[in-house]
Structure 1
Amino acid sequence: MALVEIARVDRNLANIIVGRLESEGIPAVAFDGGASIADGSWLLIPVRVMVDDEDAELARTFLDAA
């Protein structure tokens, strides 16, 4: 089991994607969401949406359809 990146987007969209994937039964996590909150530039650092490598193809298919 290894995590793979399926998207690199802003923090708000990453959280929406994670929620949608999880509602479809695909466990997902957003990495780096708090990386730059302290200096006020959180929109400049993209957040990585990660899923298990076994779920990556299904997750990408779901994202493409959305």
Structure 2
Amino acid sequence: MALVTLETLFDPVVAEIMRMRLEAGGIEAVVFDAGIASLIGPGLSGVRLMVLDEDAAAARSLLAATE
């Protein structure tokens, strides 16, 4: 079970909202690098929204449907 990067975002708040959308849809997701992004400043360091490899296609579909 490998994690894959679904998206790299430059706004940690948006990344967290997307994580919550995925989890509400039954897909576990995590946000990596939010701590370093908050130290460096918004827009300078991306945060990674990650899901299990086997959930990536469903996660992309779910996020596309909720945009």
Considering the TM-score relative to the shorter chain, is it more than 0.5?
yes
1:61 aligns with 61
Name the structure where helix makes up a greater proportion of residues: 2
Would you say the 8 A contact 2:31–2:50 is kept in 1?
yes
Runs of 4+ aligned residues of structure 1 deviating over 4 Å after TM superposition are none
Q: TM-score normalised to the size of structure 2?
A: 0.87
Give the distance between the partners of 2:15 and 2:2, measured in 1 at CA: 19
Q: Shift of the alpha carbon at 1:55?
A: 0.4
Q: CA RMSD in A?
A: 1.2
Q: Percent identity?
A: 46
Aligned residue number for residue 46 of structure 2: 46
TM-score computed with the length of structure 1 as normaliser: 0.88
Report 1:12-31 matches (<5 A).
Answer: 12-31=13-32
